[in-house]
């Protein structure tokens, strides 16, 4: 099947489906300048062991070191801009062709692109909270504290250490994940975008859908089961999908 035939088939599946959801991973944001985790040669986890740098035990053992490693990377996300794939998914939601987006990403790019139904199953970097009293703060408060010499950042109420509202290694899954497992019931079509589908439990979600479309630069364990597989740029693929739908992106 040619690339153009694949685009036409994806559009037909979207139009025919009565319940479509998207599942997105780090690969959708690489075109926004955010590196992914597992790409050969460039993936973050090839260079650093996440169990030592991005885990709950790493935060508890040496919180200052935890922030020294992670903070610059996290604050860089705030400068990234949504790309065509993010905007296309938001447009599909507004058109009534997409129920919403389940994302593994913590970069908030779906929200910034205008999507309103987003389940951020690994959390986000818009807020943080105290590990002792659970008081909530904007993530900017955490950044401001560290930049002004207070590392680790502390709660102004009780002095406890602040942590971002992301799911770290060794954390339990958050409420958005459990909501996502409910909302996918009856899913007829899942658009998997930029995910290697190797991180569980999220990688098990496509198995619930009747049909799967995979848009990812590298192969995934679900490729043989998918109705359509496109190993290409997510941004370009979604630009072409929107053109085929008669709703080209700006």
Instruction: Show Cβ contacts of residue 49 under 8 Å, excluding neighbours closer than 6 positions.
Output: none
**Gap between the Cα atoms of 62 and 236, Å rounded:** 42
Q: Are 101 and 21 in contact (CB under 8 A)?
A: yes
Please name the CATH architecture into which domain 36-79+123-166 falls: 2-Layer Sandwich (3.30)
133 among the known binding-site residues? yes
> How confident is the model over 5-59, as pLDDT tens digits?
999 999 999 999 999 999 999 999 999 999 875 555 544 544 556 557 889 999 9
**Gap between the Cα atoms of 77 and 136, Å rounded:** 21
Beta strands in 108-249 (DSSP E): 118-120, 123-130, 136-138, 162-166, 189-193, 211-215, 228-230
187 among the known binding-site residues? no
Domain map (residue ranges) of the chain: 1-34+82-122+172-250, 36-79+123-166
- The residues with which 55 forms a beta bridge, in sequence order, are 169
For domain 1-34+82-122+172-250, say whether CATH 3.10.110.10 is its number.
Answer: no
Position 68 confidence tier, pLDDT thresholds 50, 70, 90: very high
| Positions marked catalytic | 122
Write down the residue that tokens 């987006």 correspond to: 101
128 among the known binding-site residues? no
> How confident is the model over 108-131, as pLDDT tens digits?
999 999 999 999 999 999 999 999
Predicted TM-score (pTM) of this structure: 0.93
Q: Which residue has the higher pLDDT, 35 or 71?
A: 71
CA distances from 63 to 57, 82, 122, 166, 247 (A): 9, 31, 20, 15, 47
- The pLDDT of residue 54: 86
158 among the known binding-site residues? yes
- The pLDDT of residue 35: 84
- The pLDDT of residue 53: 83
> How confident is the model over 198-209, as pLDDT tens digits?
988 999 999 999
% of the chain at pLDDT higher than 70: 94
């Amino acid at each position: 099947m040619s690339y153009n035939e694949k685009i036409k088939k994806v559009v037909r599946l979207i139009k025919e489906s009565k319940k479509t959801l998207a599942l997105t991973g780090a690969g959708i944001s690489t075109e926004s300048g955010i590196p992914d985790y597992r790409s050969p040669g460039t993936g973050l986890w090839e260079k650093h062991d996440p169990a030592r740098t991005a885990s709950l035990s790493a935060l508890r053992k040496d919180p200052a070191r935890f922030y020294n490693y992670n903070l610059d990377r996290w604050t860089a996300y705030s400068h990234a801009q949504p790309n065509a794939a993010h905007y296309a998914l938001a447009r599909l939601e507004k058109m009534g062709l997409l129920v919403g987006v389940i994302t593994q990403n913590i970069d908030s790019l779906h929200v910034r692109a205008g999507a309103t139904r987003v389940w951020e199953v690994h959390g986000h970097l818009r807020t943080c909270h105290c590990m002792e009293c659970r008081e909530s703060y904007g993530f900017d408060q955490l950044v401001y504290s560290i930049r002004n010499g207070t590392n680790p950042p502390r709660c102004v109420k009780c002095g406890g250490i602040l942590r971002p509202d992301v799911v770290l290694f060794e954390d339990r899954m958050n409420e958005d994940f459990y909501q996502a497992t409910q909302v996918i019931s009856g899913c007829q079509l899942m658009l998997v975008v930029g995910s290697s589908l190797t991180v569980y439990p999220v990688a098990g979600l496509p198995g619930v859908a009747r049909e799967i479309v995979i848009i990812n630069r590298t192969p995934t364990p679900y490729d043989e089961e998918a109705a359509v597989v496109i190993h290409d740029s997510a941004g370009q693929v979604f630009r072409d999908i929107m053109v085929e739908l008669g709703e080209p992106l700006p």
